[in-house]
Amino acid sequence: MKTFLVPVDFSTTSENAAEYAVALTQDVPDAEIILYHAYSTISFSALTDREEGSRKMVTESELNALKDQLKPSANQKIIIDSEEGSFIDNVEKYVLSNNIDMVIMGITGSSRLKQVFMGTNTLNVIRHINIPVMIIPPEAKFKGIKNVLFVSDFKDVARTIPFNTVKKVLDFLKPNLNILNVDSEHYIELTDDFKIERETMEDKLNSYNPEFSFLRAYDFLDGIHQFTEAKNIDTIITVPRKHGILTQLFKTTHTKKLAYHSHVPTIAVSK
């Protein structure tokens, strides 16, 4: 991984995500970080070419100001880009046409309305692109990534988990790998179905020496939060599905713990 897209809306949160991206990739050879902004379309026929050009100039002036605040290493190159149009559509096209390896973006909201809006935007990015999306909580500061938690429902993992993409993320981060399943039905002994799925996970990820944990909890988001605290987890990896963990992260009260108020980023790896 060497090309990282950082969407910027000039909020404190998106600027923090840009700072996190620079710190995260400081030792990546030839790393390229793209600060990107999509400005909205104005459908006034009276808009002159000069006014249209000035909108792009103002946007790029702000992007350059953010670029000047960042402190890249000798390995890194920071560039800016801006386009008119829909944020989701633009990001999807940009990722495809520019060989982006990972999107790194912030998420927050000072009000419930903003939280819904920002959460929906983030989920739509994840739904529309097939590369990893790293979501940076508003207060997150990069302090190294040593321990990663991969959360799985352990259902048909051979078919539903994009292991090649997960491996690229792990090769990039080089962490200690924890694999967690949270289920209200876990007892002392795993069921045969869980044992079969674990064997598949072990076969696919054995080179990363994963440590497996099976936690009994009636609220799996609380279980994840407790495990993250106990194991000093730096980043959570998940494979979002319809009605799956990531969707719930942005729809339940636990959102405030793991998305809006947590210091732990989440990496969504889409199938």
* Separation of alpha carbons 191 and 195, rounded Å: 6
Residue 247: pLDDT band (50, 70, 90) is: low
Residue 2 φ/ψ region, left for φ over 0, alpha for ψ in the -120 to 50 degree band, beta for the rest: alpha
For residue 262, pLDDT over 70 is answered with no
Higher pLDDT pick, 165 / 271: 165
Mean pLDDT of 103-132: 67
* Separation of alpha carbons 223 and 206, rounded Å: 25
In this prediction, residue 248 carries a pLDDT of 53
> What is the overall mean pLDDT for the chain?
82
- Tallying the residues shown for the chain, one arrives at 271
* Separation of alpha carbons 208 and 81, rounded Å: 36
Q: What is the pLDDT of residues 202-233, one digit of tens each?
A: 999 999 999 999 887 777 777 888 899 999 99
Residue 117: pLDDT band (50, 70, 90) is: very low
Highest-confidence segment of 99-113, 153-167, 235-249: 153-167
Mean pLDDT of 166-183: 94
Higher pLDDT pick, 50 / 142: 142
| Domains assigned to the chain | 3-136 (3.40.50.620), 147-268 (3.40.50.620)
Residue position matching structure tokens 């429902």: 153
